[in-house]
Homo-oligomer: A and B are copies of this chain.
Amino acid sequence: MSHIILIPEFKRLIDEKDIDTLREFFTDYHPKQSAEFLEELNPEEVWFILLLLDMDDAGSIFSYFEIEDQVELLQHGDDNSVKKLLEAFSSDDRADLFKTLDEKTYSRLIALLTKEDKEDVEDLISYEEGTAGAEMSTDFMYCYIDQTIEDLFFYLREYGSSKETIYYIYVVDENDTLQGMITLKDAVLSKPTDLIKDIMNTDLITAGVEEDQEVVAKLIEEYDVMALPILDEQGSLKGIITYDDVIDIIKEEQTEDVERMMAISGVVEDRDYLDVPVWVHFKKRIPWIIILFFLGIVSSKVIGHYEDILSQVVILAFFFPLLNGTGGNTGAQSASMVLRSLTLETLEDSDFIKAFFKEFLISLMVGTVLFFTMYLSFYVFGFNDVSFPLWKISLAVSLSMAFQVISATLIGASLPMIAAKFKLDPAVVAMPAITTIVDFTGLIIYFNVAKIILGL
């Protein structure tokens, strides 16, 4: 709401060139809030304001813009201003920006960078998406192993303000090989004459540039560190991944898991739902729908096989959706519980028998409840058949229901565990696949139970 009131005010201040008021305003607010205000202005106005500010502040605000707005703004700026802003921009965000540029804009912008920054961008965008290298920032603070705490503070005051974090300072030798890490906390609590090598922590958790970003996220989370140093094959420190990157990675992986669970294939889109073209949505959804269609044809063939029984007792068809639905629901429940435990690594390979037995007990309880609910439903909801006594039909359907619940629960629990056993991502066993499989196992149970009870 405040935006609506403020925007005309900003425009007035810009017209009047009231630099002091504008500068004070945007320095006071959090960069994210400032970015939200600026989104409402046109590129010329945004440039006017950004150039008033300290370039580090301008860089922080710019990093909160949507990537398309960043590109648009850079296309509207003169070379000198763009150069300043790109220099102030953090290295990982800058690399992300360059990844999205078309060839022409890329050439124009990369030419504005210093040689060092240019190499930095080219290096960062060369890593494959999803690896630690592609996610890391190169704006880390480092010092040399033979220096003192006093030297370190001198460096911090000199270079600290432009770094992603100065709370972890990495210690390297003359070959840039990582030797240790010192926290700013330890540095503050030490004497100026203390030697870095005596204070530094040498037992570091690290990851390689080619490591999967999900593994890095897990390490940061498990070891409760603020940042993880990323090394190349030679052990040289190439960058760091910080806790805020981890939050993004976790969210992305979470979206991927949900999409897989719901039978949506392909990579997770960076773009918002509405920005993704219909065609792309279609391509991500159709493969599994077709695969599941052909799995579903098996159910049609199963029913076709028992056509004689069905023609004699048409009422059996009334409960296809109920039996299949309940099987699908119980199967999805057990699959998701097991899947979750596998993802969070609270369930080990060696626990599978235990988990299976646990699901069996749960399914016995759920199956028993549903047996009685189904049996009574025949009388309560007034289902009837002419050729067989109601109690017989009711018993056949209710027993099938109980067996369906038990088998579906066990199938749901087993499939992710089997996938994990074969070192496949258990999430590939999408929920719809489970419901489709329990459809035809349920039908086979149903017709056979009916045959026996009804004596067909």
A residues sitting closer than 8 Å to B (CB atoms) are: 28-30, 32-33, 153, 156-157, 160-161, 166-167, 184-185, 188-189, 202-203, 205, 221-224, 226, 243-244, 246-247, 250-251, 254-255, 257-259, 261-264, 272-274, 278, 281-282, 285-286, 288-290, 292-293, 296-297, 299-301, 303-304, 307, 310-311, 314-315, 317-322, 324-326, 328-330, 332-333, 335-338, 340-341, 344, 346-347, 351, 354-355, 358, 361-362, 365-366, 369-370, 373-374, 377, 381, 383, 431-432, 435-436, 439-440, 443
Contacts and interface: CB of A to CB of B under 8 A. Distances in A.
Nearest to A351: B274
A330 B351 CA distance: 34
Contacts of A160: 185, 188-189
Nearest to A246: B247
B157 A188 contact: yes
Contacts of A351: 274
A226 B189 CA distance: 20
Given A258-B340, A272-B341, A329 B292 contact: yes
A22 B266 CA distance: 50
Contacts of A166: 185, 188
> Which of A188, A202, A259, A300 has the most B CB atoms < 10 Å from its CB?
A300
A303 B321 contact: yes
Contacts of A381: 297, 300-301
B326 A289 contact: yes
A330 B293 CA distance: 11
Contacts of A341: 272-274
Contacts of A320: 303, 317, 320-321, 324
B336 A156 contact: no
A300 B383 contact: yes
Contacts of A324: 320-321, 324-325
Contacts of A362: 278, 281-282, 285
